[in-house]
Amino acid sequence: MTYKAQVTVTLRPSILDPQGKATHHALTQLEFDQINHVRIGKFIEMEIEAPSPGDAQRIAEDAADKLLANPVMEDFSVHVEEVQPVG
**Multiple choice CATH, 2-14+41-82, 1.20.1250.20, 3.10.20.70, 3.30.1280.10, 2.120.10.30:** 3.30.1280.10
Domain ranges of the chain: 2-14+41-82
Q: What is the pTM of this model?
A: 0.86
Rounded distance between C-alpha atoms, residue 31 and residue 26, angstroms: 9
43 within 8 A of 6, measured Cβ to Cβ = yes
Question: Tell me: the pLDDT tens digits for 9-22?
Answer: 999 999 999 999 99
Other beta carbons less than 10 A from residue 79's beta carbon: 12
Question: What is the distance between the terminal CA atoms of the chain, rounded to a whole angstrom?
Answer: 16
pLDDT at position 84 is 86
Query: Could you report the per-residue pLDDT of 50-78, keeping only the tens digit for each?
Result: 999 999 999 999 999 999 999 999 999 99
Asked if 52 contacts 81 with a C-beta cutoff of 8 angstroms, the reply is: no
